[in-house]
Amino acid sequence: MIKRLPFILIFCILVTGALLSNSCKKSGENPVEAQLTRGGWQLASVIVYNYVGSTNTSNDTLNAACLPDPQVFRFSADNTCTFTGYACKVQTTKGSWTLSNDKAVLYSNMKCQDTVGTTTPFDTARVNTLGFYSMVLETGDLRSVYKSTDKRHIKRFGFVRTQ
């Protein structure tokens, strides 16, 4: 038994060292940013929620299907972005994007043409859901504190991943 003690001790030290060295490795890639930049995001739905205070008074479903050309939002690792076909118009707009420190808010300075004029639709967008195949961004009156009489409008953009 005493002769085996050095071997057991050396084995335990090697295993502990291997576990510690492997657990400290980091990829250097932020998982939220990596998820955004893997392929494009095709617009699937746009819903406007109308509130008075916290009460949802109505929903407006906007037409997100632009046939034959889809609306696609693309994020690049160099923090640039493009949106092809915004508001069903033949256009490709470019801008830059960044995330808040907590990765819950997307900021983009991309300017797009819509039916009224020029807009920055994702200047401040809350990341409601971000999965491998879907993403939901919310824009509009995103305040967390509001009066019971405040009228608020939140526009929810639903996207599905494309290649």
Q: How large a percentage of the chain has pLDDT more than 90?
A: 60
70 vs 65, more confident: 70
**3-state DSSP assignment of residue 86:** helix
Tens of pLDDT, residue by residue over 7-27, are 665 666 666 666 555 554 455
Choose among 41, 34, 75: nearest CA to 157: 41
Domain boundaries, the chain: 31-162
Confidence band for 5, pLDDT divided at 50, 70 and 90: low
Which has the closest alpha carbon to 130: 96, 158, 98? 158
The domain made up of 31-162 is a member of CATH 2.40.128.280? yes
Q: What is the pTM of this model?
A: 0.79
